């Protein structure tokens, strides 16, 4: 299975495990991720979530085969449904009823960066790479990329990373707010789980998280709105590349 769930006391550890593609997201894996997060959300005994990638990589973005299909057949219902499923995974993570922590090793690129940004807290390896990457491959960002990045790192970093193609790594991740801590690679996942395990009262954590989500939405676009706001422009960029 591309998505697995392990529960350690009150901590749910969700793993994306597609090593051949460095954990790229497909429609099927995104649907499985949403289903897994739904299962976690329904567990009253779970107080926090850690999301990670297997094989030392977080997520390399949308699957190349899916992106190629979107360029060739941008109006194909199956392609559109798969892209929508990936968007849904960002929304689901951003709206979880408990705190979420992304443990980032290797790279978080494109849709993988969106997924990382949808988490509440990010623990990153010092050599982890965060890269927007959309314009490099001729695509308009999608999945609420601008909103997700702006709310975490601000407008200057958003322009530098998205429009100018800057790649961020090391301590700079912490300086920009893209990571809470930057650690040695082998310390990332243990630290993320240790941080999540500090939630000792899942019921209280859920009540407090609901208050935080409501407060955050009063000053930001809701995740579902932000994600869909960019979808038309991204689909235009797929269609544009298909006729070049």
| Strand 48-53 relative to strand 100-104, pairing | parallel
Exposure string (b/e) for 2-12, b if CB count within 10 Å is 16 or more? bbebeeeebbb
162 closest CA partner among 175, 174, 178, 184: 178
Q: What's the chain's average pLDDT?
A: 93
Domain 3-187+199-204+217-242: top CATH class: alpha beta
pLDDT over threshold 90, residue 163: yes
Model confidence, pTM: 0.92
What pLDDT, on a 0 to 100 scale, did the predictor assign at position 174? Answer: 98
What pLDDT, on a 0 to 100 scale, did the predictor assign at position 230? Answer: 72
| Ranges of each domain in the chain | 3-187+199-204+217-242
Q: What are 193's two structure tokens?
A: 């789980």
What average pLDDT does the segment 149-169 reach?
97
pLDDT over threshold 70, residue 244: no
pLDDT band at 74 (very low <50, low <70, confident <90, very high): confident
Give tens-digit pLDDT for 15-60. Answer: 999 999 999 999 999 999 999 999 999 999 999 999 999 999 999 9
Give tens-digit pLDDT for 93-107. Answer: 999 999 999 999 999
Q: Which residues neighbour 192 within 8 Å (Cβ) at sequence distance 6 or greater?
A: 50, 52, 101, 102, 103, 123
Q: Determine contact, residues 100/120, Cβ cutoff 8 Å.
A: yes
The helix-helix angle for 64-72 and 231-242 (nearest 10°) equals 70
């Amino acid at each position: 299975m591309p998505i697995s769930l392990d529960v350690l006391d009150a901590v749910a550890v969700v793993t994306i495990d597609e090593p051949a593609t460095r954990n790229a997201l497909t429609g099927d894996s995104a649907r499985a991720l949403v289903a897994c997060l739904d299962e976690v959300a329904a567990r009253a005994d779970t107080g926090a979530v850690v999301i990670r990638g297997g094989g030392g990589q977080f997520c390399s973005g949308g699957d190349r085969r899916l992106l190629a299909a979107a360029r060739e057949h941008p109006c194909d219902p199956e392609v559109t449904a798969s892209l929508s499923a990936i968007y849904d995974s960002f929304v689901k993570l951003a709206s979880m009823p408990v705190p979420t922590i992304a443990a980032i090793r290797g790279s978080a690129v494109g849709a993988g960066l969106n997924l990382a940004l949808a988490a509440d807290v990010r623990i990153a390896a010092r050599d982890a790479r965060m890269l927007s990457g959309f314009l490099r491959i001729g695509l308009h960002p999608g999945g609420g990329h601008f909103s997700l990045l702006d709310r975490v790192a601000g407008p200057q970093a958003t322009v530098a990373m998205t429009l100018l193609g800057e790649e961020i790594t090391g301590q700079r991740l912490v300086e920009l707010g893209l990571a809470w801590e930057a650690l040695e690679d082998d310390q990332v996942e243990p630290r993320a789980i240790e941080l999540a395990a500090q939630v000792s009262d899942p019921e209280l954590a859920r009540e407090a998280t609901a208050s935080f989500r409501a407060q955050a939405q009063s000053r930001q676009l809701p995740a579902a709105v932000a994600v869909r706001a960019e979808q038309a422009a991204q689909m235009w960029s797929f269609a544009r590349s298909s006729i070049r």
